[in-house]
Amino acid sequence: MLQSVLIQHLGQHIDETVVVQGWLHTKRSSGKVAFLQLRDGTGFVQGVAAKTEVSDDVFALATSLTQESSLRVTGVVVKDDRAPSGVELQVQNLEVLHLTHDYPITPKEHGVDFLLDHRHLWIRGPRQRSILKIRAEIIKAIRQFLDDRDFTQVDPPILTPSSCEGTTNLFHTQYFDRDAYLTQSGQLYMEAAAMALGRVYSFGPTFRAEKSKTRRHLIEFWMIEPEMAYTTHEESLDIQEQLIQHIVHHVLTKCQVELKAIGRDIPALENAIAPFPRISYDEAIELLQNDGHSIQWGEDFGAPHEAAIVEHYSRPVFIERFPTSIKAFYMKPDPDRPEVVLCADLLAPEGYGEIIGGSQRIDDAELLASRFAEHELPAEAYAWYMDLRQYGSVPHSGFGLGLERTVAWICGLEHVRETIPFPRLLYRLYP
Ligand code: 4AD
Ligand code: MG
């Protein structure tokens, strides 16, 4: 029995006879030779079946193959500098596991709704495969960065009794005879974990019942939430920019093939080098007003505002110290200016908007209690969270990195729907 080899490793088997197990992506054939574009998920390779080199049966089979038929192809690996993979497979034998009929996604153009309805098949295409590969490398880079810096992964619950980011977009569910919600953010639990383990991070799905149909919103998205004891707002920003720089560097190193396959503007990505500019909310308002926007101090930014701000920079930019009145209850006020909080949003360049939201947290029990009252939050539900300020409270900070927005920016995508294998959108729960 011949050894089967992944397409990405074929370069290590020049002049050997191997078996490739995969699917037919495309085919061209003349009366004398069939060119089979094969894919196995790890890459693409051209198989060449020449009429003079194979049996009549095999040649007939090769010319009758249809898109997405599953195959075992035996052949000799030969060097081919013109091929993107650097090799070609000279076909000797073919085994068809399943002959596909009428594969719905043809090389012609399809509408987005059609493609989303066929997402389970759409992910086989070279562009979608590349995006999912880059997503996986981004996850790897994040874990590597945090693990190397003494962070411990801690998993917060997904079913929760109360909200973290406000009650308007909670997903309600039934927990036996009680009400429960799908988590919007694991942050409050991560604060508890930081007091137990020092530097922690979570990585998991979060849910927001947001009635927004924009190119940046998903209903279910993945977040990485680092939380750090004995860490100030400024120290947290240093870690955030190092993390982003590390992710970009990792993808540029590991994913050249995929970045090319999706046509990413690579020099634009190479600009993401720390330190990133840090401007205050006040400065951002002034900048927007000078650009002719009618926004006033105290209002939150919308997507057009964020896009206008990043126009002024070629790197990611931090907007710091937002008005206390528009931010979450747990954010620590600036001691010199309590009308603003020690927080920052990191905006990605090229109009991708906020990829990180973070802050220093309130560590004073009395102030936190008064915030619960102001925000009309039920104190009993948060009693455990208050305990963290009763027993060895310390300055601490953390942030949430939205995985899909980060993937959208790094891949240069129009819409977050392509950044996740099976997107959950306002009007989409299928497949
Ligand atoms: O700014 P957010 O709401 O912050 C929090 O949830 C904090 N509790 C995080 C923390 O400090 N531990 O969300 C964080 C990030 C945003 O910057 C954005 O990248 C992403 O999560 N995000 C979304 N991504 C896709 N679809 C949505 N509907 C998103 N909402 C937030
Ligand atoms: Mg935010």
Give the model confidence (pLDDT) of 364-423 as tens digits.
999 999 999 999 999 899 999 999 999 999 999 999 999 999 999 999 999 999 999 999
Q: Is-contact 36 90, C-beta < 8 A?
A: no
> How much is the pLDDT for 162?
87
Ligand 1, atom 11, lies closest to the CA of 399
CA-226 nearest atom, ligand 1: 12
> How much is the pLDDT for 193?
99
Fold of 119-418: BirA Bifunctional Protein; domain 2 (3.30.930)
Looking at all shown ligands, the one closest to residue 361's CA atom is 1
CA-closest candidate to residue 96, choices 120, 118, 129, 63? 63
Fold of 7-98: OB fold (Dihydrolipoamide Acetyltransferase, E2P) (2.40.50)
Give dist(CA 131, CA 423) in Å, integer: 13
CA-closest candidate to residue 219, choices 52, 404, 431, 414? 404
**Between β-strands 337-341 and 333-334, what pairing exists: parallel, antiparallel or unpaired?**
antiparallel
The domain locations on the chain are 7-98, 119-418
> How much is the pLDDT for 168?
85
CA-closest candidate to residue 398, choices 318, 331, 338? 331
Looking at all shown ligands, the one closest to residue 156's CA atom is 1
Report how far ligand 2's centroid is from the alpha carbon of 356 (Å).
7
Report how far ligand 2's centroid is from the alpha carbon of 357 (Å).
5
Q: What is the pLDDT of residues 176-206, one digit of tens each?
A: 999 999 999 999 999 999 999 999 999 999 9
> How much is the pLDDT for 271?
94
Ligand 1, atom 27, lies closest to the CA of 217
Q: Residue holding tokens 């050997």?
A: 16
Report how far ligand 1's centroid is from the alpha carbon of 240 (Å).
14
> How much is the pLDDT for 107?
87
Specify the DSSP class assigned to residue 332.
Answer: P
> How much is the pLDDT for 425?
96
> How much is the pLDDT for 163?
86
Chunked mean pLDDT (size 10), the chain, 431 residues: 92 98 96 97 97 97 97 98 93 98 95 98 97 98 98 98 87 96 97 98 97 93 98 98 98 96 96 97 98 97 96 97 98 98 97 96 97 93 97 98 98 97 96 98
Q: Is-contact 341 233, C-beta < 8 A?
A: no
Give dist(CA 323, CA 329) in Å, integer: 12
Give dist(CA 125, CA 107) in Å, integer: 10
> How much is the pLDDT for 166?
84
> How much is the pLDDT for 85?
85
Report how far ligand 1's centroid is from the alpha carbon of 351 (Å).
17
- CA angle, 82 as apex, 95 and 40 as ends, to 5°? 35
CA-164 nearest atom, ligand 1: 8
CA-closest candidate to residue 105, choices 121, 128, 93, 91? 121
Q: Residue holding tokens 């034998």?
A: 93
Q: Is the dihedral of CA 312, 313, 319, 320 positive or negative?
A: negative
CA-closest candidate to residue 65, choices 96, 104, 22? 96
> How much is the pLDDT for 237?
98
Report how far ligand 1's centroid is from the alpha carbon of 119 (Å).
25
Which protein residues are within 6 Å of ligand 1, measured from CB?
Answer: 164-165, 185, 187, 208, 210, 217-218, 221, 223, 225, 354-358, 398-400, 402, 404-405, 416
Give dist(CA 327, CA 30) in Å, integer: 65
> How much is the pLDDT for 165?
86
Q: Is-contact 93 53, C-beta < 8 A?
A: no
Work out the mean pLDDT of the chain and round it to a whole number.
97
Give dist(CA 237, CA 246) in Å, integer: 14
